[in-house]
């Protein structure tokens, strides 16, 4: 033994007695040819808060590059996969479809024109959102009108049997 508790580099012979209390845990971290660490799909799922099935789904949809494989055919991912999946989730939260996200990933690669292209995507998405807001406001108006019809019918009912004006499809009145 050397100073500091280190052993000189030499061959060691170890004996492992297998007992119920004995657990041997060997972990090995693989690296890409450019030195990036790799990890398996379970680790990627943990790091991105996605399920393994979701990761495979994104791979099939070509939102995630196919993983390299170990000699045992296990998928091996790099930190690039984490970044891409986080980007997908961020864009989904903004309401972009998977197809739109795929297009945005393509735009992302062209840094010189990325901002103007993203601006167009955002303008289109904002126009879609404005249209949906108008549609939801119209739906809100119609639902409130139907609710008022039900309230009037229930007030008039007072022990009598009446058909529900909403279920019977009575015409909406503009002053309802």
List the pLDDT tens digit at each of the 176 positions of the chain. 444 444 444 444 555 566 666 555 444 455 555 667 788 999 999 999 999 999 999 999 999 988 888 888 888 998 899 999 999 999 999 999 999 999 999 888 788 888 988 999 999 999 999 999 999 999 999 999 999 999 988 888 877 777 888 998 765 444 44
Q: Name the β-bridge partners of 42.
A: none
Instruction: Name the residue range of residue 150's domain.
Output: 122-158
pLDDT at 2: 43
Flag whether 71 is in a domain.
yes
User: Within a domain: residue 172?
Assistant: no
128 lies in the same domain as 83: no
Determine, yes or no, domain membership for 153: yes
My answer on whether 51 and 89 are in the same domain is yes
**pLDDT at residue 168, as a whole number:** 86
* Separation of alpha carbons 29 and 25, rounded Å: 13
- Which pair of tokens denotes residue 141? 């108006």
Domain stop point among 96, 113, 137: 96
Q: Where are the beta strands (DSSP E) in 22-100?
A: 68-69, 75-76
Among 23, 68, 7, 2, smallest CA distance to 41 is for 68
Residues 43 and 92 in one domain: yes
Q: How many domains does the chain have?
A: 2
Whether 4 is in a domain gets the answer no
Helix or strand run (H / E) with residue 97: none
Report if residue 82 sits inside a domain.
yes
> Which runs of consecutive H residues, i.e. helices, occur in the chain?
41-48, 52-60, 79-93, 98-109, 114-157
**Confidence (pTM):** 0.63
Looking at 78, 96, 114, which one is the last position of a domain?
A: 96
pLDDT at position 161: 78
Residue 59 lies in a domain: yes
Cα–Cα distance between 110 and 108 in angstroms, integer? 5
State the CATH number of the domain containing residue 80: 1.10.1660.10
Question: CA-to-CA distance for 140 and 134, rounded, in angstroms?
Answer: 10
**Structure confidence at residue 68 (pLDDT):** 84
126 and 92 in one domain? no
In a domain, 135, yes or no: yes
In a domain, 147, yes or no: yes
Q: Are residues 41 and 91 in the same domain?
A: yes
């Amino acid at each position: 033994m050397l100073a500091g508790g280190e052993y000189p580099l030499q061959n060691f012979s170890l004996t492992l007695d297998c007992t119920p209390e004995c657990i041997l845990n060997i972990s090995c971290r693989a690296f890409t040819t450019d030195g990036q660490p790799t990890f398996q799909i379970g680790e990627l799922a943990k790091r991105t808060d996605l399920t393994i099935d979701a990761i495979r789904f994104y791979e099939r949809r070509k939102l995630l590059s196919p993983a390299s494989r170990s000699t045992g055919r296990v998928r091996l991912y790099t930190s690039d996969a984490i970044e891409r999946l986080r980007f997908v989730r961020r864009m989904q939260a903004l309401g972009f479809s998977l197809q739109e996200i795929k297009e945005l990933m393509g735009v992302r690669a062209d840094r010189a024109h990325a901002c103007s292209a993203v601006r167009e995507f955002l303008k289109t998405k904002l126009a879609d959102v404005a249209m949906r807001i108008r549609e939801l406001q119209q739906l809100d108006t119609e639902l409130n009108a139907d609710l008022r019809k039900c309230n009037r019918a229930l007030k008039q009912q007072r022990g009598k049997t009446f058909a529900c004006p909403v279920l019977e499809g009575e015409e909406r009145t503009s002053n309802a």
